[in-house]
Chains A and B, each alone.
Chain A
Amino acid sequence: MKIRNYIQVKTVEAFHEAAKAADGPITILAGGTDVLVNGREDDVYKDCTVIDIFPVEALHGVCETENMLLIGACTTHEAISHDPLVKQYAPILAEACGAVGSLQTRNRATIGGNLANASPAADTMSALAVLHAELVIERDGEARVEPMTAIFTKPYKTNLAQNDLITTIRVPKQSPNVRYDYVKVGRRKVLSISRMTVATLLEMDNNGVVTRFDMTVGATFPRPMLFPDISAMLVGKRPSEQDIIGVAKALSDKIPEIAGIRKSTIYKQPVCRNISERSLRKLFADILK
């Protein structure tokens, strides 16, 4: 692809310096699995200084604090899907990352790139939404923290400036009692761009009363979303079959409400309803008995 300049950096500081020194537009390059596909069209990057951050070691890997997992933005989907900390404290994310593309794609594609690319079909978004993940974003050496869902403005658009670097994805550690389910619907078993993902995370007390509930649909809305009204439908209750049917209906009704009526609505709405019911029945199997 045509580019103006290529700079490889090995530290976050070097990224900021390169971003400051560049005249004209810059493009951050991580795994390149979105950039190289976009770059095939219309010389989109011909005026860009490409800053390759994949070699920045500090942006790779997962570590933990008392309450958080800190995932480096350049950690690949394959690495996240096998990471012992992620599998222990946020297994829904391990599953979502394992559902991305093929092994070859997952070996290269990063979680930071998945978010910054802002495709509504990005597989990690629904999982990160129900996990209430946050992003650490650095501009010119200054860091800020934002909710993951806050950076997206519309499909393929974020509010990130060109010199904003996502450095870390912060994921609250989940207790072992948290139940989750992640479903991806695509056209081909692997390597398909999601038509829909449904991510659910919940916790109950010893009496089967729901203390926390988040459920969302991905690849369906212009950006990742959480629905407090849907969460409120189950929190404080010991769910019945009727509640499950009600939640699945309410969630699938969000599709025409938010995304408008499209050609796909007639397909997506019942699929969402069925998957949601199935997911909830599985998660509450012992309560519904």
Chain B
Amino acid sequence: MSNIKLSFILNRKPYTVETDPGKRMLDVLREDLGLMGTKEGCGVGECGACTVILNGKAVTSCLVLAGQMQDAEILTIEGMRDDEIGRVIQECFVEGDAVQCGFCTPGFIMSAYALLMENPTPTRDEIRHAIAGNLCRCTGYIPITNAIEKAAKTLAK
């Protein structure tokens, strides 16, 4: 169908794009806006590589229609460097060897961010629960869980 105008807040800045509302949000981010940080793994909601925060909630952007971005507030990995929680999570991932090939990392960081926004002092079980929708084929998850735990502790100081 023909393009429509979509207005939303992305990484705390207002945006308006003209695009096909039948596209996926993932494609608007990557193709229309050139934000390549959000990855596509499975395209069917199973791997979490495309996780973004939509109106405060972690969601898979491969399963959101572009039209549904209208008036929304969206955070992607690109917005994490301007945010204390986001920055600390990223640092802890790098320092804790929670990144190997890195393909899953943006998705994990967005899930971790959503968790720490809601629950600044999660238990290890709560961390595991929050990242259960993200797959990583390199790290074995333990360094990722450790990194999120460390980020929570660092932020609490």
Contacts and interface: CB of A to CB of B under 8 A. Distances in A.
Contacts, number: 92
Contacts of B130: 103
Contacts of B129: 103
Interface string A29-52: 101110111001000010000101
A45 B22 CA distance: 10
Given A189-B132, A190-B133, A104 B64 contact: no
B57 A107 contact: yes
Nearest to A79: B57
B22 A6 contact: yes
B58 interface: yes
B24 interface: yes
A190 B132 contact: yes
A106 to B, nearest CB: 9
Contacts of A50: 22, 65, 67
B76 to A, nearest CB: 14
A2 interface: yes
Interface residues of B, number: 32
A35 B67 CA distance: 14
A78 B115 CA distance: 14
B67 A191 contact: no
Nearest to A37: B44
A281 interface: no
Interface of A: 1-6, 8, 29, 31-33, 35-37, 40, 45, 50, 52, 54-55, 78, 101-105, 107-108, 189-191
Interface of B: 1, 4, 21-24, 43-46, 48, 51, 54, 57-60, 62-65, 67-68, 70-71, 111, 114, 129-130, 132-134
Closest 10 CB pairs of A and B: A102-B133, A6-B21, A3-B22, A107-B57, A190-B132, A6-B67, A36-B63, A104-B133, A104-B60, A108-B59
